[in-house]
Structures are given as structure tokens and as C-alpha cells.
Amino acid sequence: MVDPAATSMTDGLGRRIDYLRISVTDRCDLRCRYCMAERMQFLPKNQVLTLEEIALLADLFIARGVRRIRLTGGEPLVRRDIIDLIRRIGRHLDAGLQELTLTTNGTRLADHAEPLHDAGVRRINVSLDSLQADRFAHITRGGDLSAVRHGLDAARAAGLAVKINMVALKDINADEILPMLRWCDSQGFDLTLIETMPLGETGEDRTDHYLPLSHVAQEIDAHHALTPIAARTGGPARYHDVEGLGVRLGLITPLTRNFCADCNRMRMTCEGKIYMCLGHDDHVDFKAALRSGGLAAVEPLVDRALRRKPAAHDFRIGADAPTAAVQRHMSVTGG
């Protein structure tokens, strides 16, 4: 295995890269309007890394100095034997790896909450954009809110800390943001609000539904004063205490407040492609090297990826901006 003392996970701009997001599948059982097209063309199984290959690449990154890993999708819980992979990566907890987390849409969480906790996961993000069943079904193109609610109950019972991720959408769920915040407080969950991102063609006009979180924060502050805090969880969210509530509010603002200067992340797709930035198409492909030459062949590609990590993304929404900054969907790169 790689000697950590002889390597570095510092990019060409001097940023320390210690957080890896791994998409274990591009498949999902929902079709959220801001994320995916209604009819998706998913990857053939032979183009997707095996769970063993994902585990080997995770081993390499942990040896290089990655301290946090988040498993994503698509929907990671649709991947068969996903708990086996989590157990395998979880063996590194307290031995290099500080945290192993998961982002899920919650539809399969009822069956997986206890196994996730048993495998070493202590914190999960659950994507939930509405507490109204009909509106939830509209946003997800047919999703069942009750399945997610059951999953959240199971997560709480299993001892998993839950953060709700809510994409703020003008004229769709803007009126639910304050109720969602208060509901999260009643449930013991945290809440992170996210601006919609121009990734992939979805069949929807994101400009129509773009809601700047600067406006949202002002509206919340009128009811519950927001106080910025220094807490970080490894990702791009900036957190606030909320007056009168026990919930911690995070804001992810790729459009109104760029968070790239202190980026500490890379993303690996289920094909083994490393994307140095969510908003760029440039990537380094590990799969062929791994299958032909093992981890020794992948090692120099890590350094190549670090050197090529850009200073910032170029997300824009508006009449003069392309409908998608990159053509791949969020489900490909991982949320």
C-alpha cells in the first residue's frame, strides 16, 4: 500500500483534498425534475466498477490522505450488496478514515437503516424537497413520500444522524422552506438548502425555478434570526444557528456565493472517472488503468487529477447562459 508520508493530496492551487465522493451507481428509482430527465439512458453493467474495484480505489485514496468518504448515486441503496461495500470501506474508520457517510433519497432507507449503522455509517443526508405527498410526487415524477417518511423513522430508530437536503425551487416549493425548517427541528434533523445547479438536460427550464438562497435566508431571518457558525462537515455548506430552533441550517450556494476557494473534494463516478470539479467535464479515467495494471497503475493518475483540479466552476443561470453547464446529469457524477 502507498506510504502516506511519501505522497500528497494537495492540488495545484495548494488546496488540501481530503474528501472523496463516490457514486456507486448512476441508477435511481426517482426522476427528480432538477436532476434527471424523465427517460434516462443508464450505463450497461459491464461499464460500471465492481464493488471490489470501488473498495480498492477507496483504499488507495485513504492511504493517500482522504479522511472523509461519502457514497452517492444515483441512489446508492439500489446497488445490490451495497452494505458489503460499506462494511469493507468502514474497516478504515479510526484507522485513517474519519467518517463514512451516505446521501440517499430515502425510498429504501427503512430496510437499510440498521445495516448502515452496523457497517459504520453514523450520519446520512436524505434528499427531500416537499412534505406534501402530491407535490413530492410531482417533483420526483412519481415518488412515494410515505416510503421516505418510513425510512426517516427507521434512520432515527437506528441511531443515524439525519440531515435533510432540500433544493430550493421558485414557484414549486419555496412556500415550504420555513415549514420544512420547523419540521426538521421537531424531528431532530438538520436542514441544508441547495440552489439548483445546471447539470445535464432535464426537460425543465431551471431559470424559471432558480431561487437565490440569499433571498431565502433573508426571509427565514425575518422569523428566526440566523447566526453564521464555523461548523463544517467537509462539504460546501455554510452553517447557521437558527434562533428559537435546535436545527442547524446549511446553505449551498453555487450560484450566489461561490465556495470554490477552499474546495477539498473530488468525485469518482461508478465508471471509475475522477471529476476534479462538479462543474467541469475534465476528468481522469481510473478504470482501464486499474483493470490492466492494478493500483500501481492508478497511483500516477491521482497526481494527474490533483494537478488538473480547476480554480472554480462556471455555473450560470439566465437568458445568456447555456441550459446545462455540463451535459452529464448529477446522477452520473454523484450528489
**Which CA distances in Å does 8 have to 64, 66, 92, 206, 307?**
7, 10, 19, 39, 11
What mean pLDDT comes out for the span 203-231?
87
Q: Which residue ranges are tagged as binding site for [4Fe-4S] cluster?
A: 28, 32, 35, 260, 263, 277
Cα torsion 231, 333, 200, 218 to 10°: value is 0
Instruction: List, as residue ranges, the binding site for S-adenosyl-L-methionine.
Output: 34, 74, 127, 197
- Terminal-residue alpha carbon distance, the chain: 29
pLDDT at 3: 45
In terms of pLDDT, which residue wins out, 49 or 7? Answer: 49
Phi, psi of 164 (to 5 degrees): -85, 130
- Which of the two residues, 201 and 78, has the higher pLDDT score? 78
Distance (Å, whole) CA 317 – CA 315: 7
Beta-bridge partners for 190: 163
CB 309 within 8 A of CB 266: yes
pLDDT value at 321 more than 50: no
State yes or no: pLDDT of 7 exceeds 60: no
* Mean pLDDT taken over the chain: 88
Torsion-angle region of 294 (φ positive above 0: left; ψ -120 to 50: alpha; else: beta):
left
| pLDDT (average), residues 5-25 | 86
Amino acid type, 192: T
**Numbered residues of the known binding site for GTP:** 21, 70, 103, 163, 265-267
Q: Which domains does the chain have, with CATH numbers?
A: 4-333 (3.20.20.70)
Confidence at residue 332, expressed as pLDDT on a 0 to 100 scale:
60
- Known binding-site residues equal 21, 28, 32, 34-35, 70, 74, 103, 127, 163, 197, 260, 263, 265-267, 277
* pTM: predicted TM-score of the whole model, two decimal places: 0.88
pLDDT in tens, 241-251: 999 999 999 99
Provide Rg for the chain, Cα atoms.
19
For residue 254 the three cell numbers come to 453555487
Residue 213: pLDDT over 60? yes
Across the range 48-55, mean pLDDT stands at: 98
pLDDT tens figures, 246-291? 999 999 987 666 667 778 889 999 999 999 877 667 899 999 999 9
